A and B are shown apart, each in its own frame.
Chain A
Amino acid sequence: MKTMKPIAAAMLLGTLASGAAMAGADTKVALVPGGPHPYFAAWEQAGKDAMKDFNLGAGDYRVPAKWELALQSTMLESLITEGYNSFLIFPGDAVGTNSVAAEIKEAGGMSIATAGCLKDPTPAMFCMGTDTGNSAYLGTKELIRVMGGKGKIAHFTGFLVDPNTQLRIDAVQKAADETNGAVTVVQVIADIDAPEPANEKINAYLAANAAGVDGIVTTAWVPAVVAAQALTKIGDKRIKMVGIDHDEVVLKAVKDGFVDGTMLQNPYGQGYIGSYVLDKLRSGCTLKEDAPWKSNALTAKFVDSGTVFVDAKQIDTYVDAMRGITKTVLANFEGNYLNCK
């Protein structure tokens, strides 16, 4: 990540600075995740880059100190008070954060649900993020491919209170079902978004069942890290695994061949593109109703920020892969989704 930010920024600066001529310095963007998590680290640089590239009044990354809905709401309210008017929000709760989004709207601001969606009906403009269901589905497809089209899969995922978790469980099941019984999901282990329980449960599972499993798909950050460590430790290359995200541990395990690939998400792109779109919307553009919106279980206005499968061959160039996606999404955004005068 650390190397990716400046490169991507420089590249985007060159190609897109021209589009920022309309930029308003009165657009003050705040990028607010639901709480501290390494996934969002790229938002800080994304906000700074967007601020510079599009001449925004602000592009500040503000993190609630804890994953606490009330704390995020309080923080957003105080950001409204501070005069921010454009928000990229990872909803602390898919339903619960709507009330703050409504307050933002009433105060004359606007918000985009970023990296996770708000449930319709929502006052947020739209949702941009990884299509979590689709990412889980594609990841499982890749896993089935490297498994040779048959076998038993274990699925490790995150918090049960996160509505994305059910989408992921369903998507993995769907990919397995499409094989007409050649591939079965033998176990789902959920609620392991913290490293300690994840370590205990995943190791316990592998210890007892390693022989009965041919593939592992992980659809949340921490389980991916822990499962990658576990496979590296056992030194087992028979069990195939597809992870998620770009933690150093996962990337190294892919490079070393213990993990077959990882589904990368695009946090930097989310922050950067989101800031750009908010500025556009503030300077007179409107959203096209007939734009090619995707829909998911939560909302009918969804934009995919891109996800890409990376295996050992592309691991050194994954930065380019993500840069490519960000560039494509950004270049087409105005034409596809915006009406600008």
Chain B
Amino acid sequence: MAIGVFTRAFDNDWIGPGIVSLAAVVGISILQPSFLSPFNIFVLLSAISVNVVIALGQLVIIAIGQMNLALGAIGGLVAICFVGIIELYGVPPVPALLIGLAIGILTGMVSGYTIARTGITAFIITLAGLQIFKGINLGITEAQPFYAVPQSVKDFGNLSMIGPVPWLIVPMVLASVGMWYLLNHLRIGRYILAIGNNPHAAELSGINQRATTTWAHAISGLLAAVAGIMLVAKLQIGQPTIGDDWLISSFAAPVIGGAVLSGGHVSVAGTFFGVVIIAIITQALVLFNIDPYIVQVVLGGLILWAVGINRWRELRVARLQEQGR
């Protein structure tokens, strides 16, 4: 019986990555005690906070069975707009924040509406979006960063709330809980997952595909905007390069967390632990002075490993179902 409970627990998406995260934390802290120093926990939590929001931005699109290549471009555009209007027009941080978030939602909606209206795959529309948003970003900044980040914003990105817990964790928690609630308890979330599972069936059951797709991309854009502004706070500078390297990790974390890329099945908790694993590995590579030339190889191997695990679980579930029949 105990074994049965144990194996059944493995069918939860987040248990596997959770155990791996825990094991990694224990292992590294034995080898390198300073890993658990308050400052290191602070650093780790800051990195995780931003990356979870990024990963959730992709997660909602994966849930509906699409992909958003423009996630980073939206985040970068919002980041420079946010600092830009503060620097150039003297807008106070809070209105600037709202304008930034509005830009994120709007760009997401435009992508989503275009995809939903035309039926062209999200891959192409968001690839075009990536070029357009990044192009606007460079057109505005000419690759020069904006420096005028208000002190309050810098503090938010660099001060701790209590002990080693950074303020940056607040938007992360809000986004995670919000996303979990949305996917599990709201109609829009149910629609998103239904479309991801089987678009035709969803259509037949009367779900408005256009509206749902548009809203999913709007949520993705909002999260990209939040992550972009969090990075401005953390980096203390409005870098035009923000968002350039979100793509790989934004897919890797949900996949490690058990998300099915064809849609319909995602896990917020699993994604969280996916981000934790990537963050720990990034740190470990630095802490143990691993040849930087090999870092890319490790990251690629990690994705394959996660894919292998997911596949194994799928097969196992399928076999169990067959036996049950």
Contacts and interface: CB of A to CB of B under 8 A. Distances in A.
A and B touch in the complex (CB under 8 A): yes
B142 A204 contact: no
A208 B142 CA distance: 37
B59 interface: no
Interface stretch (A111-119, A172-180, A190-198, A308-316): A190-198
25 contacts: A36-B142, A37-B143, A38-B144, A65-B135, A160-B293, A189-B286, A191-B295, A195-B235, A195-B237, A196-B245, A200-B43, A200-B47, A201-B282, A203-B43, A206-B39, A207-B39, A207-B44, A208-B34, A208-B35, A208-B37, A229-B235, A248-B147, A249-B147, A249-B236, A249-B237
B302 to A, nearest CB: 16
Contacts of B39: 206-207, 210, 234
A204 B289 contact: no
Contact count band on A: 35 or more
Interface in B110-139: 135, 138
Interface string A191-227: 1001111011101111111110000000000000110
B27 to A, nearest CB: 14
Interface in B26-40: 32, 34-35, 37, 39-40
B143 A38 contact: yes
A146 interface: no
Contacts of B163: none
Interface of B: 32, 34-35, 37, 39-40, 42-44, 46-47, 135, 138, 142-145, 147, 158, 231, 234-237, 239-242, 244-245, 279, 282-283, 286-287, 289, 292-293, 295
Given A63-B142, A195-B235, A204 B245 contact: no
Contact of B143 (A63, A191, A196, A225): A63
Contacts, number: 93
Contacts of A295: none
Interface of A: 35-38, 41, 63, 65, 160, 187-191, 194-197, 199-201, 203-211, 225-226, 229, 233-234, 248-249
A249 B149 CA distance: 12
A195 to B, nearest CB: 5
A65 B135 CA distance: 8
B-side binding surface: helix, strand, loop or mixed?
helix
A68 to B, nearest CB: 13
A233 B158 contact: yes
A204 B43 CA distance: 6
B287 A195 contact: no
B221 to A, nearest CB: 19
A203 B50 CA distance: 14
B112 to A, nearest CB: 26
Contacts of A208: 32, 34-35, 37, 40, 283, 286-287
A229 B282 CA distance: 20
A327 B198 CA distance: 71
B18 to A, nearest CB: 21
Contacts of A41: 144
A44 B216 CA distance: 43
A197 B273 CA distance: 19
A118 B35 CA distance: 43
Contacts of B47: 199-200, 203-204
A209 B241 CA distance: 28
A205 B158 contact: no
Contacts of A195: 235, 237, 239, 241-242
Contact of A196 (B42, B231, B240, B295): B231
Nearest to B235: A195
Given A195-B241, A207-B34, A207-B39, 5 more contacts: A36-B138, A196-B241, A204-B47, A205-B287, A234-B39
A226 B158 CA distance: 13
B240 A207 contact: no
Contacts of B245: 194, 196-197
Contacts of A191: 292, 295
Contacts of A200: 43, 47, 279, 282-283
B237 A204 contact: no
Nearest to A248: B147
Contacts of B287: 204-205, 208-209
Question: What are the 4 closest A-B residue pairs judged by CB atoms, nearest first?
Answer: A36-B143, A207-B40, A204-B283, A203-B43
B289 A187 contact: yes
A13 B13 CA distance: 69
Contacts of A201: 282, 286
